[in-house]
Amino acid sequence: MSQNKQELRVVTYMCPTHPVQLYELILELLEEALGCYTTLQYESRSPGPLPDRPDPFSTNRVDLAFMTASSYMKLRENRNVNIELLPVTPVFAHQMNVENKPGYFSDIIIHRDKKAHNVNTLLDLRGCTFAYSDEESLSGSKIVLKTLKEKGENASFFGSLLRSGSHLSSAQMVLSKQAEWAAVDSTTLLFSKKFMYDGGKDIITLETLGRLPPYPIVVNAKLSDETKKAITNVLLRLPQTQQWKNKFAKFGIIKFEVNSDVAYNGPATQMWAIQNEKLNVRYY
C-alpha cells in the first residue's frame, strides 16, 4: 500500500542561514498531513539553483524549493516557465515585526566592543571592515547599498569587504572580530545564536533595515494543482494545531501567511537591481 504514496522532492537553498532542522520539520508536517513521502536536498553553495547546472525544475528533479527572494526574482526575470510561486510564506518573529506580517529584515550587527568606540549608528561605521554573504543578497548587500545611497554615501564608505558566503559566517566573523560589522538576514540568529561561543552575547544589533520581500516557496509547474493547493492549505493551517505551532516556534516561525508575486514588484525590484561597485574582495 505504501508503494502508492506520492513522493515530494524538496530542496532548500536557505542553509546555513536557516538551520536544516527547520526544513526537516516542514517535511515532517507535510508527510503527516498529506500522507506522502518526502526527500530533502540540502544545497548550501548557492541561495538558489546553481547557474552553471541544469535547471532542476525544467529537468523535473525538484517539486518544491525554498530559496532567497533574490534567487526567485532572478528566475522570474529569466522567464522560467517551469516554476510557480506557491501562495504561502513563513512569518518570523522579530522585534520590528510587531504586526506579524510576511517579510524579513536586515540586521546591522557589530561586536559589543564597538560600542566603546562611539559606534551608535550605521554612519559611524565608515571605514570599518564589512562582512556580507554575497553580492546578490537583499539583506546582506543590496539594502545596505540602497540605505547608504539614500544617506549620500557610496561603496567608498567601506574600509574593506569580506565575502563570507553565508549570513551565519558573517555573524561568526563579527563575533571573532575578523569583521567589524555585517548585515545579516534577521532570522539568522533566531536559532543559531545559542550555539555560538558564549551564546553569541557579544553580537549586538546596531540598526535594522527593511522590511524585505517574503521568503518565496517555489513549486515545479508540473506538480498537480491539487498537490499545490494541499501543500498551501497545510501550511496556512499551522496556527490551528498547537503542537505543530510550538515546534515551529523554536525556529522563530509564528505562522504561514498568504503570498503573491506582488510582493516582489516595485521597491523590491528596484533594490534587487542595484549594482555593487567593483571592489577588491578577500574570500574566506
C-alpha closest to that of 133 among 44, 42, 24: 44
Query: Is 166 found in the same domain as 237?
Result: no
* Domain membership flag for residue 196: yes
Q: Is residue 208 part of a domain?
A: yes
Complete edge-to-edge strand list for the sheet that includes strand 281-283: 203-212, 104-111, 181-185, 129-132, 160-163, 281-283
134 and 193 part of one domain: yes
Asked whether the predicted pLDDT for residue 38 surpasses 90, the reply is yes
What's the pLDDT score for residue 117? 81
Q: Is residue 193 part of a domain?
A: yes
Are both 186 and 239 inside the same structural domain?
Answer: no
17 falls within a domain? yes
Is residue 162 a contact partner of residue 179, using CB atoms and an 8 Å limit? yes
Same domain (yes/no): 205, 236: no
230 and 208 within one domain: no
Note whether 255 and 275 are same-domain residues.
Answer: no
Q: Which pLDDT belongs to residue 283? A: 42
pLDDT of residue 280: 43
- Total domains, the chain: 2
Using DSSP bridges, classify how beta strands 203-212 and 253-258 pair: parallel, antiparallel or unpaired. unpaired
- What number is the average pLDDT over the span 56-68? 96
Q: What is the pTM assigned to this prediction?
A: 0.89
Residue 158 grid coordinates: 567601506
User: Which of 183-210 are b and which e, b meaning 16 or more Cβ less than 10 Å from the residue's Cβ?
Assistant: bbbbbbbbebeeebeeebebbbebbbbb
38 and 164 within one domain: no
Peptide bond into 51 cis (omega under 30): no
Cα separation of 192 and 180, whole Å? 20
Residues 275 and 142 in one domain: yes
99 lies in some domain? no
Q: Which domain holds residue 125?
A: 104-212+271-283
Residue 245 belongs to a domain: yes
Say yes or no: 90 and 126 in one domain: no
Q: What is the pLDDT of residue 116?
A: 76
Q: What is the distance between the alpha carbons of residues 125 and 119, in angstroms, rounded to a whole number? A: 7
Verify that 127 and 160 share a domain, yes or no: yes
CATH for 189: 3.40.190.10
Q: What is the pLDDT of residues 161-170, one digit of tens each?
A: 999 999 999 9
For 68-88, what is each residue's pLDDT tens digit? 998 999 999 899 999 999 999
Is residue 32 included in any domain, yes or no? Answer: yes
Asked if 76 and 50 sit in the same domain, the reply is yes
The answer on 277 and 193 residing in a single domain is yes
The mean pLDDT value for 252-266 works out to 93
Contact between residue 71 and residue 133 where contact means Cβ atoms under 8 Å apart:
no
User: Which pLDDT value is given to residue 197?
Assistant: 85
Residue range 84-107: mean pLDDT, rounded: 95
Q: Which grid coordinates are listed for 194?
A: 545559542
